């Protein structure tokens, strides 16, 4: 029997040593490479086409969830098993939505890892029993056909629509902003993802590519409260963590507003404008954002009707 070729990705070298040692016990496993950040993981997965990728989420340079998405495209036959300290069912769901088959909480690794690996290699899902949340049973089910239709159709079309890119640029000019983005909300995984942006560099896009209501960010706070959130000075506002503040300041963002897209009482996305100066958010600018939100919701309805 050929060995199962494994790519091991974690930024903590002692943990990689432990897992690599454990994988040596059954002779069918062969650790062919290790990586300590998301970009390195993508590169090695593309080069080596491993059978199995053991992947952490909290990785430097590029988070594990985004790395998994790219690995799925570049090495489609590789099966992905997340091994993370995070116990959040929401984060686990976002991880599984990348196409990964399993999620193991690190503290359960001793008892669960071998079973998880065997399960994932069979093409079946595995979840740690200790994930937080009142009900994680739905995580064991595959995405419904209707959800896949929405994901395949509506969101990619909106992201590729020249109208949204042009309108976002117009909004940025009208509000006196320097940057901006539009995110859509995935109600299944409860995360925001950027579908259109203008002016941002790679670090910002990687860091804020996926946002949850637990994140200490402006759009994370707006998501949690389903209401507009404004930070007039990124350098001093207590809402932000040191890490998120640093990412914003390096992106030359000093003030920002995030406005939820609410349709029929349901959150469907977020519109944010960013300014390179403090106190850049103005009442007139917010009115321009509200007008854009109305137009965007109308466009979203038009795109949805076009697929029926």
* pLDDT tens string 148-191: 333 334 454 455 557 788 899 999 999 999 999 999 888 767 78
Spatial neighbors of 89 by CB under 8 A, at least 6 apart, are 131, 132, 133, 136, 139
Inter-CA distances, 21 with 24, 31, 93, 135, 280, Å: 5, 9, 29, 34, 54
Supply 4's token pair.
């199962």
Q: Is 112 exposed, middle or buried (0-12, 13-18, 19+ CB in 10 A)?
A: buried
Supply 68's token pair.
């998994």
pLDDT for position 301: 64
Domains of the chain: 4-140 (3.40.50.2300), 146-305 (3.30.450.40)
Inter-CA distances, 126 with 16, 93, 112, 151, 267, Å: 21, 12, 9, 23, 30
pTM of the entire structure? 0.52
* pLDDT tens string 11-44: 888 888 888 887 776 667 888 899 999 999 999 9
The runs of H, that is alpha helices, within 38-144 are: 38-48, 64-74, 89-96, 109-121
What share of the chain has pLDDT > 90, as a percent? 42
3-state secondary structure 102-114: EEEEHHHHHHHHH
pLDDT for position 29: 86
* pLDDT tens string 67-126: 999 999 899 899 999 998 888 887 888 888 888 999 998 877 777 888 888 889 988 888
Task: Read off the pLDDT band of 200 (50, 70, 90).
Answer: very high
Inter-CA distances, 213 with 17, 185, 187, 190, 241, Å: 34, 11, 12, 8, 14
pLDDT for position 285: 95
pLDDT for position 145: 39
* pLDDT tens string 136-145: 444 544 443 3
The closest alpha carbon to 164, from 307, 303, 305, 306, belongs to 303
CA 3 and chain centroid, separation: 32
């Amino acid at each position: 029997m050929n060995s199962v070729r494994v790519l091991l990705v974690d930024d903590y070298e002692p943990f990689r040593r432990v897992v690599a040692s454990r994988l040596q016990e059954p002779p069918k496993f062969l650790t062919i490479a290790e990586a300590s950040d998301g970009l390195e993981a993508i590169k090695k997965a593309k080069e080596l086409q491993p059978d199995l990728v053991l992947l952490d989420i909290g990785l430097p340079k590029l988070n594990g969830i985004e790395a998994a998405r790219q690995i799925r495209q570049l090495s489609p036959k590789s099966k992905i098993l997340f091994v993370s300290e995070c116990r959040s069912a929401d984060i686990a769901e976002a991880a599984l939505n990348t196409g990964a088959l399993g999620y193991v909480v690190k503290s359960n690794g001793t008892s669960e890892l071998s079973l998880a690996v065997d399960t994932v290699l069979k093409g079946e899902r595995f979840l740690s029993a200790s994930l937080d949340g009142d009900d994680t049973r739905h995580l064991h089910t595959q995405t419904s056909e209707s959800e896949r239709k929405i994901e395949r159709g509506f969101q990619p079309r909106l992201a590729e629509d020249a109208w949204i890119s042009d309108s976002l640029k117009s909004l940025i000019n009208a509000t006196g902003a320097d940057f901006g983005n539009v995110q859509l909300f995935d109600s299944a995984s409860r995360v925001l993802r950027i579908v259109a942006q203008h002016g941002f560099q790679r670090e910002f896009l990687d860091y804020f590519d996926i946002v949850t209501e637990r994140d200490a960010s402006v759009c994370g706070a707006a998501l949690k409260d389903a209401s507009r959130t404004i930070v007039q000075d990124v350098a001093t506002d207590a809402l932000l963590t040191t890490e998120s503040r640093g990412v914003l300041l390096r992106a030359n963002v000093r003030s920002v507003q995030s406005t939820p897209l609410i349709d029929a009482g349901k959150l469907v996305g977020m519109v944010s404008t960013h300014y390179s100066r403090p106190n850049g958010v103005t009442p007139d600018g917010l009115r321009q954002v509200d007008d854009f939100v109305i137009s965007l919701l109308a466009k979203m309805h038009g795109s949805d009707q076009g697929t029926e």
